[in-house]
Amino acid sequence: MNNFNLIDKFFNDTLSDKEATLFNKLLQEDSEFKEEFRFQKDLKKALQLNKRESLKATLQGFEKDLKKKKSVFTIKTWLAAATVIILLGIGSLIYNSFGNDDPKNLYAEYFEPYRNIVHPVERGENDGSIETKAFQAYENGDFYKAINLFNSVESLEEDDNYIDFYKGISYLALNKNKEAIEILLPIATEIEKGDYDLSQKANWYLALAYLNANEIEKAKSQLYMISHDNAFTFKKEEASDILEKLN
């Protein structure tokens, strides 16, 4: 399948889990694919907006004609007017679906798997450890494999917060929002018990998970905290941008 067909499937909400993984990987790593996605998103928005304005103008023409003639509409005229009203409603629904403030569009625009800073994988490295294999899978975008390996690493580590963090992001990359939220929430909220820097990053990805799950109020709450709490520095500007688009 042509990679660009993934964009059509995204807008039709028909991506499989495997295709969603590839879509997110391409969106983050392939500049041409990302540019095409943004172009199609903006084009759909412009087309729907133009159609909506055109239909509104037609409906306004009916209203003006009625005022001028002060006569009863014929059945044909009423049917035409009713058709315009119905189309306006459909156009509005389509516009809202592809609008810039659609939660899934915002998620796709801002989501990027956090880089591997815990166990950077050097080219040619092959020490055979489970952790190395887990992060290799993560960096390669093979998130199903990464999750399975992270699960194995956890049983060997006392402090596995950072493993949970990357596992949560892996679930998020697969659009498994419930699992991602369950893993990221403890890291984000138990700041005093763990790494504060890691907690900040977990809060950002937790906000994106809520956004992708269409839990708008929870997403807004997270984004508001990130953008307004002076203690937060990670993705502060991006959180403010998303919040503005949602409001």
Q: What is the pLDDT along the chain (247 residues), one digit of tens a residue?
A: 567 788 877 777 787 878 877 887 787 778 888 877 777 777 666 665 555 555 556 555 655 655 554 444 454 454 555 555 455 454 444 444 444 568 888 999 899 999 988 766 665 555 678 888 999 999 989 999 999 999 988 655 555 688 999 999 999 999 999 999 999 999 998 754 446 788 999 999 999 999 999 999 999 999 999 999 888 889 999 999 999 998 7
Residue among 218, 223, 210, 194 at smallest CA distance from 107: 210
> In whole angstroms, what is the distance from residue 75 CA to residue 121 CA?
72
Q: pTM, whole model, 2 decimals?
A: 0.62
Q: 7-28: per-residue pLDDT in tens?
A: 877 777 787 878 877 887 787 7
Q: Are 15 and 23 in contact (CB under 8 A)?
A: yes
Q: Residue ranges per domain, the chain?
A: 5-99, 125-246
| SS3 annotation, 29-91 | HCHHHHHHHHHHHHHHHHHHHHHHHHHHHHHHHHHHHHHHHCCCCCHHHHHHHHHHHHHHHHH
Q: Which residues 6+ apart lie within 8 Å of 175 measured at CB?
A: 15, 17, 20, 212
Q: For residue 229, what pLDDT is reported?
A: 87
**Alpha-carbon distances, residue 198 vs 71, 90, 118, 168, 185 (angstroms):** 70, 44, 11, 12, 12
- Give me the amino acid identity at 225: M
pLDDT of residue 212: 94
> Cβ distance 42 to 72 under 8 Å?
no
Domain 125-246 has CATH 3.40.190.10: no
pLDDT number for residue 97: 44
- For residue 205, CA distances in Å to 60, 73, 110, 157, 172 come to 46, 56, 10, 23, 8
C-alpha–C-alpha distance, residues 111 and 170, integer Å:
12
Task: Give me the half-sphere count of Cα atoms (radius 13 Å) on the Cβ side of residue 90.
Answer: 8
Percentage helix, strand, coil for the chain under 3-state DSSP, each rounded to 5: 75, 0, 25
Residue 19: what pLDDT?
Answer: 80
